[in-house]
Amino acid sequence: MYFYLKQHPDIFLTQVKEPNYFNIDHHSVKFIRDKETYLSLFATAEHQRQIGEATTWYLYSTEAASQIRAFCPSAKILIMLRNPVDVVDALHSHNVYHCLENLVDLETALNAERDRKAGYGSPTRAHFPMGLHYLEIAHFADQVERYIRAFGPYQVHFIIFDDLMRDVGASYEETLRFLEIDPVFRPRFDVFNASRQARSPVIQGFLEHPPNFVRRAGEFLIPKRAHYPLRRGLKFLNARHRPRHPMGTDLRKRLQESLHTDVRRLSGLLGRDLTYWCDS
């Protein structure tokens, strides 16, 4: 949805996706914490009617909703929700691809979650260890409720991933209407963020975590504005799109049972029955 909205002439979204400015309870060297740096991301905005950014971790954060509210009380909040069982699987795959997860087997990673939450067992390359708390992240009810409380129901728009997959045009148009933007415009609905594997794990590790001398040389030789697109392009060349291996039936059932109560509560908050996510 970020890429689709970014194409609209009346919408400005920052070139850097996921600046992670408002989730102050999360800690990572890659997150933007300087206000001047954050505001500079919007420096090229011109006549657009809506200006924003997209950071997925704002949902999981316990502080982001109140921080955004203090920064901009009239903000319009977009929240996309997906079957939490699939979120667990997709997030783990994402972390493996980005060399943040050393346990390539999902069930093993889930079994390590308690130790990791206690502060040990996370891989050294995981710049954001909380991003490995897969099952906790997939409990959406409290996360959603924070935004409803902070902004009220009319400033928060929920997009269900199933609806997007079923009819992307209708989901997009509904989002534009919420943003009070011309709903007629249609972007290119290309597929983004399909499941990926690295062609070369060694190259991927180098791109994700370059040695300090390479990082310093790059900062000296390459214009700052080119860092993000260059790194993104190199990672694109090293990626191949492959569907994830299907989750085992027993593991899926275990996750469905663990998440069912939370999904039932989420359904009440949204006024929509989503409990089919946890059906066998």
Please give the structure tokens belonging to residue 222.
């390459």
User: Is residue 210 in some structural domain?
Assistant: no
User: Is residue 79 in some structural domain?
Assistant: yes
Residue with tokens 């699939």: 86
Query: CA–CA separation, 166 vs 170, rounded Å?
Result: 9
Query: CA–CA separation, 156 vs 169, rounded Å?
Result: 20
The model's pLDDT over 101-160, given as tens digits with 9 standing for 90+, comes to 999 999 999 999 999 999 989 998 899 999 999 999 999 999 999 999 999 999 999 999
CB atoms within 10 A of CB 168: 16
User: Is residue 205 in some structural domain?
Assistant: no
Instruction: Report CA Rg, the chain.
Output: 19
User: Is residue 201 in some structural domain?
Assistant: no
Instruction: Specify the CATH number for the domain of residue 66.
Output: 3.40.50.300
pTM of the model: 0.84
203 CA to centre of own chain? 24
Residues in the chain: 280
The model's pLDDT over 174-202, given as tens digits with 9 standing for 90+, comes to 999 999 999 999 999 998 766 555 556 65
Q: Which helix (H) or strand (E) holds 156?
A: strand 156-160
User: Is residue 216 in some structural domain?
Assistant: no
User: Is residue 152 in some structural domain?
Assistant: yes
Amino acid identity of residue 170, one-letter, is A
pLDDT at 196: 57
Amino acid identity of residue 26, one-letter, is H
> What does pLDDT average to over the chain?
89
pLDDT at 206: 55
pLDDT at 239: 56
Our count of domains for the chain comes to 1
Enclosing domain of residue 22: 2-195+243-278
